[in-house]
Amino acid sequence: MKHAFNAPTRTHTWTFSRDVNDVRYVVTKYDVDPVDDAAMVHGFKQKIADAAAIPFAKNDRYATDQEKRDAMQAVVDRLNDGKWNAELGGGGKKPKLVNVEALVAAIVAIRGRAEAAVRAFVDAKTEEQRNALSMNDEFWLEYAMQCVRLAGPAKALDAGLTDELDALE
């Protein structure tokens, strides 16, 4: 994928392989100082190009040029509709995935309730409600510590990294 910016037409163009159409985005000219304008032009370029960074783990293979192009075009279409971010289902921020084991352990540790009762309570909650519980002032620190505990022992640094750290002042 190659990128070019045509300053007179204010058009970003991303070119892919021969069998995949280009992606184009025209940056509207606003009456702002040149530094703000350059930042805006760069921001749109970065926003659109970031969509092509499809993780390998998502589909257990590298993304094709067509998949990258489609992801970038979706961002262009959204920007042309006046929306910077994609809307998520439910109309709000997507809740983080909560480590249920850590949340149960945190509530048991803080409230001293029976694990089975707490597990039934947590299992009956939505992901959004679990998220709220994990970030609650009463539980968040214990929840974080339980997440670390459940992650297992830290991996040892290799000798080279350890030596570099020891050499720091």
Interval 56-108: pLDDT, tens: 655 678 888 888 889 999 999 998 888 888 775 545 555 567 889 999 999 99
Low-confidence winner among 110-119, 125-134, 155-164 (lowest mean pLDDT): 155-164
Residues 77, 116 within the same domain = no
User: What is the C-alpha to C-alpha distance for residues 16 and 19, in angstroms, rounded to an integer?
Assistant: 8
CB 24 within 8 A of CB 76: yes
User: What is the C-alpha to C-alpha distance for residues 92 and 43, in angstroms, rounded to an integer?
Assistant: 24
Mean pLDDT across 142-152: 85
Tokens of 162: 């350890």
* Residue where one domain finishes, among candidates 62, 86, 110: 86
* Residue where one domain finishes, among candidates 69, 86, 103: 86
The pTM of this model reads: 0.50
Phi, psi values for residue 6, rounded to 5°: -95, 105
Mean pLDDT across 136-164: 81
Residue 79 makes CB contacts below 8 A (sequence gap 6+) with: 25, 44, 47, 48
Count: domains in the chain: 2
Reported as a pLDDT band with limits 50, 70 and 90, residue 40 is confident
* Residue where one domain finishes, among candidates 28, 62, 86: 86
24: containing domain: 2-86
Residues 120, 166 within the same domain = yes
Residues 97, 125 within the same domain = yes
**Does the pLDDT of residue 37 top 90, yes or no?**
no
Q: Please give the pLDDT value at position 104.
A: 94
- Helix, strand, coil fractions of the chain, as percent rounded to 5: 55, 10, 40
Residues 76, 137 within the same domain = no
Convert 81-133 into a string of H (helix), E (strand) and C (coil).
CCCCCCCCHHHCCCCCCCCHHHHHHHHHHHHCCCHHHHHHHHHCCCHHHHHHH
